[in-house]
Amino acid sequence: MAITPKKNKHRSGDQSDHRMASLLDEMSEFERFRHEILPELRKMVTKGASAEAIYRRYQAHAAARTITIAMTEDNPATALAAAKEILDRGGGKAVERKEITVNDMTDEQLDELIKKELGATNENEELQN
């Protein structure tokens, strides 16, 4: 006869309460989105607001949501991705270094490489701003 340990009902109840509270919070956020933010977005789009203006208008909301996800998400991968996003935005992304060997390149090849790398750098800076 095998003996199986009893499940801790109190612990699973706490988890259920936490999940229920999270669901209620999400429902509340969705209602706010549906009744407040979505009509504002529609108005901005119909008036011809640029994507940049819309991004700027909701940047604080997105930051708050990202922080909420990082601090409360049960899925570690999702929480980590949100935390990384916060760190990248708040502290600046880490500098990416590349090592390129130019000994065997012609001047034309070197010029092309420089133009390509400068173009990629400018595109990344525009995306971050």
pLDDT at 3: 57
Parts of the chain with a pLDDT under 50: 1, 9-10, 129
Full domain range(s) for residue 23 = 19-94
pLDDT at 120: 66
pLDDT at 43: 92
Residues 52 and 86 reside in one and the same domain: yes
Record the tokens describing residue 30, joined without a space.
Answer: 């969705």
**Residue 3 backbone phi and psi in degrees, to 5:** -105, 125
pTM assigned to the model: 0.46
Cβ atoms of 66 and 88 closer than 8 Å: no
The answer to the question of residue 72 being in a domain is yes
Residues 84 and 25 reside in one and the same domain: yes
Residues 82 and 128 reside in one and the same domain: no
Residues 59 and 117 reside in one and the same domain: no
Question: pLDDT per residue over 12-34, tens digit each?
Answer: 567 778 778 878 887 887 788 88
Residues 76 and 121 reside in one and the same domain: no
Angstrom CA distances, 33 to 55, 62, 83, 105, 117, stand at 15, 12, 23, 55, 41
The answer to the question of residue 127 being in a domain is yes
Number of domains observed in the structure of the chain: 2
pLDDT at 47: 93
Residues 68 and 106 reside in one and the same domain: no
pLDDT at 122: 56
The answer to the question of residue 75 being in a domain is yes
Instruction: For tokens 């003996």, name the residue.
Output: 3
Residues 69 and 103 reside in one and the same domain: no
Question: From CA 68, how far away is CA 64, in angstroms rounded?
Answer: 6
